[in-house]
Amino acid sequence: MAGIERLGVQKLTSSVAFGSGGTTLFTASDNYLVSVVATNLAATDASIYVYVIPSGATTEAQYALLAYSLTLPGYNSYETFRFAVNSGDVVKVAGSADVSYYIQGLDQVA
């Protein structure tokens, strides 16, 4: 029986720009239902981005934006709603330094 799995962990030690240069949190090898938790480890507000680059996407207009320049207060966490990713999709994060990201999900076995 499949269960919820930890799929990736990243801590940004410096600011990362949104876009194709963002930090990869997870690359899907199957279809998953996932959510991302971002935790601000600093006392000051942070800015976070969580987005999916669908398999085959070539421009930012094709990205699925889940959190875009979202202000995350110091020492607080934010969890995205659950969302689907398909095989080959890439979940990326970007934003301020000192934010830790965690992705968990459930493999959608047919």
Give the number of other CB atoms < 10 A from CB of residue 54. Answer: 14
The whole-number pLDDT of residue 109 equals 79
pLDDT tens for each residue of 61-90: 999 999 999 999 999 999 999 999 999 999
20 pLDDT tier (thresholds 50, 70, 90): confident
For 43-52, what is the mean pLDDT? 98
The whole-number pLDDT of residue 110 equals 63
pLDDT tens for each residue of 49-62: 999 999 999 999 99
For 23-45, what is the mean pLDDT? 98
Q: Yes or no: say if 47 and 79 are a contact pair by the CB < 8 Å rule.
A: no
Give the number of other CB atoms < 10 A from CB of residue 76. Answer: 12
Q: Measured between alpha carbons, how far apart are the two ends of the chain, in Å?
A: 12
